[in-house]
Amino acid sequence: MDVQRGQWSSRMGFIFAAAGSAVGLGNIWKFPYITGENGGGVFVLIYLVCIIAVGIPIMVAELLLGQGSKQSPVGAFEHFHKKGSSWGLVGWLGVASGFVILSYYSVVAGWAMHYVKLSLQGFTNLDTETIGNTFSGLYGSATQNMFWHTVFMSVTIMVVIGGVKKGIEKTCNILMPLLFLLLLFLVGRAVFLPNDGFMKAVDFIFMPHFEKLTPHGILEALGHAFFTLSLGMGAMLTYGSYLKSRKEVLKSSIAVSLLDTVIALLACLMIFPVIFAFGYEAEAGPGLVFKTIPIVFSQIAGGQILSVFFFLLLTFAALSSAISLLEVVTATFIDKLDWRRNKAALISGIVIFVFGIPSALSGSGKIFGAWADIFGKNFFDSMDYLASNWMLPIGGLLTAIYVGWVMPKEKLEYFFGAEFYPAWIFKVFYLLIRFFSPVLVLIVLLYKIDFI
């Protein structure tokens, strides 16, 4: 069996792939706009607490389940309990989350690709209002959304068909360094923006104003910690299953979480200076990077090339994440149904594509137009809400309970071998995964159903 299963070719290869999964639209599109909506500094602080106290322990839990079982989520949850155990259902919940997330993720990735094209054509000759309206135009266009949704899903499917080493690892090895360079370049450029834009941004992001703290902000920070680290649905678990050595589990979890956080903060340092330098609103919501950024780039020297870079960056980040979402579903079909990789990736990719069509058409109000009247959110927003606020936290909670309470302690300790880590590290982890992480997630979930 091991011969057939993929494996990363090196530690670096794995780090790039896992960081590629973690760093995505969540970091560059979503984190800045929810930070803006929730008042900046204090939200960032809560988010950092969530990453350390909940994110890292659950990332360790997922990677060790994968590494220890060498299986995709369903098999992994059965592995440390018993075959056919109902814990396998947690794995299936993860597969379902993969479907839901990728279906709308691809739509946003499609917007990024459309903006690469628009930037290449140049925004420079257009007036501010026209550029601002471009996003509404795209959002409302069924044809354009469908076109880019198709392109993006096709590329994602092709990478996953390529396999663990030749598809995923190779792609991430190219995309991740490129992404980092582009980001550093754009942050560097932001430092020199007029009107003290950069310093205002630093202040906004790092100065906590506690009066801006809301219960909603706390919930969103926790949900986002899951989303941004790709936790709660077995994506990290699946990547962990291609990992050679148990020694990598803890180190890699910390490295990947750190990279992801640094990149999210850098993304804010790239976007907010632009917003503040030109007097735009930080609370612009999902349109923040698509409306405001192009307007500003159209006004500064060299803006066109910056704009091309920016949306390329967004596209790369989205692609390396999307392949991890598709890989979970694909790996499960390979392991559980004995399908060949081509077949598994193609069929699951097509089903996800079809499921994404209502999201792609959400802005245009075509089919499922009545959805918003019934549920109060359009289909696209409903899927994001369902996944980030419910499916991932529930998946993460069950993962923590499984690793902290169901899995035998000796099996867990094995990943923290005395050969490579001092004993206190395991003790801290054990405390976090048994009590702290699950209790925190539970409180948040109970709060959401108005129980407390």
CB of 264 to ligand TRP, least distance (A): 8
Are 439 and 397 in contact by the 8 Å Cβ rule? The answer is: no
Stretch that binds ligand TRP, among 43-51, 229-237, 272-280, 359-367 (CB under 6 A): 229-237
Smallest CA-to-CA distance from 192 within 123, 274, 121, 266 is with 274
Which class for 200: exposed (0-12), middle (13-18), buried (19 or more C-beta within 10 A)?
middle
Stretch that binds ligand TRP, among 8-16, 126-134, 223-231, 286-294 (CB under 6 A): 223-231
Are 287 and 135 in contact by the 8 Å Cβ rule? The answer is: yes
**330 binds ligand TRP per the rule CB under 6 A:** no
Number of residues that bind ligand TRP (CB under 6 A): 16
277-305: buried (b, 16+ CB within 10 Å) or exposed (e) per residue? bbebebebebebbbbbbbbbbbebeebbe
**103 binds ligand TRP per the rule CB under 6 A:** no
**21 binds ligand TRP per the rule CB under 6 A:** yes
**27 binds ligand TRP per the rule CB under 6 A:** yes
Stretch that binds ligand TRP, among 196-204, 225-233, 276-284, 335-343 (CB under 6 A): 225-233
Question: Residue 449 gets which letter from DSSP?
Answer: T
Smallest CA-to-CA distance from 160 within 354, 329, 326, 15 is with 326
Joined together, the tokens standing for residue 146 give 């469908």
**233 binds ligand TRP per the rule CB under 6 A:** yes
Joined together, the tokens standing for residue 126 give 């257009």
Name the region of 208 (left: φ>0; alpha: ψ -120 to 50; beta: rest): beta
**332 binds ligand TRP per the rule CB under 6 A:** no
**101 binds ligand TRP per the rule CB under 6 A:** yes
Which residues in the 375-394 window bind ligand TRP by CB under 6 A? 392
Name the residue type at position 378.
N
**319 binds ligand TRP per the rule CB under 6 A:** no
**Residue 194 backbone dihedrals phi, psi, to 5 degrees:** -75, 175
CB of 80 to ligand TRP, least distance (A): 21
Can you tell me which of 156, 321, 362, 399 binds ligand TRP, judged by CB under 6 A? Answer: 321
**325 binds ligand TRP per the rule CB under 6 A:** yes
Residue 365 neighbours by CB distance under 10 Å:
14
**286 binds ligand TRP per the rule CB under 6 A:** no
> Interface with ligand TRP by CB under 6 A: which residues?
21-22, 24-27, 101, 227-228, 230, 233, 235, 321, 324-325, 392
